[in-house]
Amino acid sequence: MAIIDEILDAFFNAKRNLAKKAFGPLKPKVISSREFQARLSQIKESTLRATLHRMERRGLVKRSHGGWLPTRSGSARHQKALRRQELRQRRHVEPVNMMVIFDIPELERGKRRWLRQELRNLGFFPIQLSVWHGPAPLPEEFIKDVIDKDLKEQVKFYKAVPEDLI
């Protein structure tokens, strides 16, 4: 996990009554995760300071009463990081028994790029550029996104059951 994601994670894992003041100007005051504290103690103060200022420039955190608070963008990035981590864990647990085949025209390359990235995030791997193999079932949110992007006719899903496998 990147240091920025670890810092955001610390904001959301700090004790409830001190969550808003989890970070002082430089180092955290109270953080529930011992693992994070150990990692943070290995980071130079100048590195932590530079990272927090970079996060501030990116709109991920803001200064508040001598400490740091996550912004909406920071919260969104944290949620996205948690989702990625959950999907990586799912990749190693579930059997690989689904094929996704798509034919998206070159004019819609942005949608094609989006679909490939989402499939990668879901634990799929490419057999060819438009043929992917990975775990089933697919999350409802992913299927809804495919429909919302008008890709329903261009994407086909095939699930193999153990009896069908050679």
Fold of 3-85: Arc Repressor Mutant, subunit A (1.10.10)
User: With bands split at pLDDT 50, 70 and 90, how would you rate the model's confidence at 162?
Assistant: low
Q: In angstroms, how far is CA 128 from the centroid of its own chain?
A: 25
Q: Decide which of 3.30.70.240, 3.30.70.1230, 3.30.70.100, 3.40.50.300 is the CATH code for 94-164.
A: 3.30.70.240
CATH 3.30.70.240 segments of the chain:
94-164
Q: Sorting pLDDT into bands at 50, 70 and 90, what band is 126?
A: very high
Evaluate if residue 132 carries a pLDDT over 70.
yes
Q: What is the mean pLDDT of residues 3-30?
A: 54
> For position 155, what pLDDT does the model report?
94
Mapped onto helix, strand or coil, the DSSP state of residue 163 is: helix
Nearest to 4 by CA among 50, 65, 64: 50
At 15 the pLDDT is 40
pLDDT in tens, 69-115: 888 888 888 888 777 777 666 655 557 688 999 999 999 999 999 99
Q: Measured on CA atoms in the order 53, 58, 59, 60, is the torsion positive or negative?
A: negative
pLDDT given at position 147: 94
Q: How far apart are CA 99 and CA 57, in angstroms?
A: 42
For 20-78, the pLDDT digits (tens) are: 444 444 444 434 456 666 666 777 878 888 888 888 899 988 888 777 788 888 888 88
Q: What's the pLDDT score for residue 34?
A: 64
| Strand ranges of the sheet holding 125-128, from the earlier edge strand across to the other edge | 125-128, 131-135, 96-102, 155-159
The pLDDT value recorded for residue 156 is 94
Chain region(s) in the chain for CATH 1.10.10.10: 3-85
Is 10:33 a contact under the CB 8 Å cutoff?
Answer: yes
Asked if residue 158 lies in contact with residue 136, where contact means CB atoms within 8 angstroms, the answer is no
pTM greater than 0.85 (yes/no):
no
Alpha-carbon distance 57 to 102, whole Å? 39
Which pair of structure tokens corresponds to residue 4?
A: 């920025």
What is the reported pLDDT for 25?
Answer: 43
Report the pLDDT averaged over residues 8-16: 61
Q: Which single residue is written with the structure tokens 């948690």? A: 82
Q: What is the pLDDT of residue 43?
A: 76
